[in-house]
Structures are given as C-alpha cells and as structure tokens.
Amino acid sequence: MLELDAVSYRYPGYARQVLADVSLAIGSGEIVGLVGRNESGKSTLCLVASGLAPVSVGGVLAGEVRIDGTATAGLRPFELASRVGLVFQNPNTQRSGVTATVFEEVALGPVNLGLPVAETVERTHWALRTLRIEALADRDPARLSGGQAQLVAIASILAMRPPHLVLDEPTAQLDPEGTRLVGEALQALAGTGAALLVAEHKTDLLDRLCSRVVALDGGRVAMDGPAAIVLADPALEQLGVERPARHRIAGEVAAAGLVLPGAIA
C-alpha cells in the first residue's frame, strides 16, 4: 500500500508548489496510471511517492507519504530502496557507470541489498528473462540503444523485487513490442501484490494495465477514478491528455451521428 495524504511539495530554492494537496492511495496488486500534460507534476509525484523527494532531493513537503503504513519521512534512502522501486525517465542517467556488462548492471541493486550471490543471480536472470533481454547480458551497458537502455533500467529495478514500484514514463523510448513486454512485466509484479504507480503518455497502455487512473493538472489531482471511466472521459483532452484509441474512435463515431458497427476492443 502506497499512500499520499494531502501532500504538497516544492523543490529546494523554488517558491512554487509543484504538487498541491494531492491525496492518493494505491492498494496491493493495484496498478494506478498517472496522466497529465508535460510539467503538470507527474515526475515530481513519482519522486514524492517513492520518498526520494524530500529524503534525497530536499525541498519542503507538507502532508504525509506512507509505504505500508510507515511514513517515508524518517527513512534513509537505502531503506526506501528496499520498500519501493523507482524507474526514472531517462535511462542514460540511471546507469551506474561502474559495471562492464548488463548482467552486472542489473545485479548491482541485489548486490547492494546484501543478498547472497545465488539469490542475486536468480533475480538477475529472472529480470532479464521477464523483459526478454537475456541476449543483452554480456553487452556493455554504456553502448545500448535508447530502447535497450530503458529495458535494462527497468530490469535493474525489477531485480531488487521491490514490494512496490513507481515508474516515470517507462516506455517512452520503446517500440510497440518493448512496450508490450514492460506492460506484461508490470502486470506480473502487481500479481505478486505490489502497488504500482505508472506515469505515461501512452494511454492505450494504461487502458490495458490499470485499474485506476489519476490525472494531474497544475500539480493538483484533476480526475481520479476507475480507468474505464477516466480514460473514456472527453474532459481528459482538456487536461492535455489523449484518450486511448478505442475511446477516441467511439467518441468520434458518436459525434458524427453514427453507430458503431461492432465492438472496438
């Protein structure tokens, strides 16, 4: 369970509230989608929900963020790391820079957690297999394409098997196949009881994945409800968010005064 309770946040050195009065609860096994136009606060919410802001980033937080009932405020960064995983937007800056192979890069988190080698190896194999990137195991992590680097970044967090996971645009650099694989991996993780928060522009992916969708506007929660309802709502477009293709098409057909000849999805 990941909870944000009336959270407001501003970055160190800035007066502007980037998040204002955000309340949100993500239950075990639930995948919540986070949408909104660029700079509406999605990335900041990801940092706050994972506890990294303000614990590592600094800044001023009002309200409370709780992970499984424990307030993040008193935790140290490595304690947070074993409670909630965070995948950043830019795969290049997530690379440790100290490993020679993708296998070691993905294994770095489990090694840091102090796991026995046998377990680290099993988790690393599993994470690589889940994202179908076993073939990259021996490659130099600094010499990957954008899409490959993004899959490696996700695998690096999956291997730590965090009880909960926050992802900031995890599929931005990925082709449709990679996007599908990430979707499947997230579903599998939710199946193990993790609470997942996924910020994404690709609402078609959220449509397949999420039980609930939250839309941000100017750092505030503008919409929050079951995915099927929020993603179908034309009001989403006013928030700078495309509805999934099936809802958009249904809407356009209805607006033209026509009837759908059959099911869409």
Using the minimum distance from each CB to another protein, give the nearer residue, 21 or 39. Answer: 39
Q: How many CB atoms within 10 Å of residue 254?
A: 11
Using the minimum distance from each CB to another protein, give the nearer residue, 50 or 61. Answer: 50
Give the separation between CA 44 and CA 88, rounded to whole angstroms.
11
Residue 89 Cα to chain centre, angstroms: 9
CB of 83 to another protein, least distance (A): 10
CB of 196 to another protein, least distance (A): 14
Give the separation between CA 60 and CA 242, rounded to whole angstroms.
32
Sequence-separated (6 or more) residues with CB below 8 Å from residue 161: 123
Using the minimum distance from each CB to another protein, give the nearer residue, 6 or 236. Answer: 236
Give the separation between CA 60 and CA 141, rounded to whole angstroms.
35
Using the minimum distance from each CB to another protein, give the nearer residue, 14 or 23. Answer: 14
The residue whose two tokens read 């990801």 is 46
Give the separation between CA 4 and CA 63, rounded to whole angstroms.
8
CB of 97 to another protein, least distance (A): 5
CB of 1 to another protein, least distance (A): 19
Using the minimum distance from each CB to another protein, give the nearer residue, 142 or 235. Answer: 142
Reduce the DSSP state of residue 198 to 3 states and report it.
Answer: strand
CB of 27 to another protein, least distance (A): 19
Asked if residues 62 and 4 have their Cβ atoms less than 8 Å apart, the reply is: no
Give the separation between CA 23 and CA 27, rounded to whole angstroms.
13
- Residue 12: asked if its preceding bond is cis (omega within 30°), the reply is no
Dihedral (Cα; 202, 205, 210, 212), 10-degree rounding? 30
CB of 156 to another protein, least distance (A): 7
Dmax over Cα atoms in the chain, in whole Å?
Answer: 64
Using the minimum distance from each CB to another protein, give the nearer residue, 8 or 92. Answer: 92
Using the minimum distance from each CB to another protein, give the nearer residue, 6 or 135. Answer: 135
CB of 119 to another protein, least distance (A): 6
Nearest to 87 by CA among 34, 136, 150: 150
